[in-house]
Amino acid sequence: GAGVSQSPSNKVTEKGKDVELRCDPISGHTALYWYRQRLGQGLEFLIYFQGNSAPDKSGLPSDRFSAERTGESVSTLTIQRTQQEDSAVYLCASSKTRGGGGTYNEQFFGPGTRLTVL
């Protein structure tokens, strides 16, 4: 089956502009995660969605970042008034369900969106 898809693959924007990144999870996966990876750095958790439950926004670095997801489908990550420090690869992952043990929380990543803020 199809994996996680993300669009656009690359985005170049000017400082101060808003950007919207899209993630389409694996069909049947109820949990969706956004991570950020700065050049040469590790993965940084941003936000998590599980079905219709309230999202876990604990990783969002500032109020310029927001994300939405309708049900168990597509998610969008929006960054308002972009700054140069927002330049990174934004990765989306999905898993069958949340937490717990076993294979249900194996996370599968999309190809990422490389964001460059000039």
Partner 1 sequence: QKEVEQNSGPLSVPEGAIASLNCTYSDRGSQSFFWYRQYSGKSPELIMSIYSNGDKEDGRFTAQLNKASQYVSLLIRDSQPSDSATYLCAVYYSNSGYALNFGKGTSLLVTP
Binding site for partner 1 (CB under 8 A): 31, 33, 35, 41-43, 45, 48, 50, 56, 58-59, 89, 91, 98-103, 105-112
The nearest distance, CB 61 to partner 1, in angstroms, is 14
The nearest distance, CB 81 to partner 1, in angstroms, is 25
The nearest distance, CB 16 to partner 1, in angstroms, is 28
106-109: list long-range contacts, CB under 8 Å, 24+ apart.
107/31, 107/33, 108/3, 108/4, 108/26, 108/29, 109/4
- Which tokens go with 105? 């929380």
Residue 5 or 83 with smaller CB distance to partner 1 = 5
Residue 12 or 83 with smaller CB distance to partner 1 = 12
DSSP for 58-88, written as a single string: TT--STTEEEEE-TTS-EEEEE-S--GGG-E
Residue 34 or 83 with smaller CB distance to partner 1 = 34
Q: Report DSSP state, residue 53.
A: S
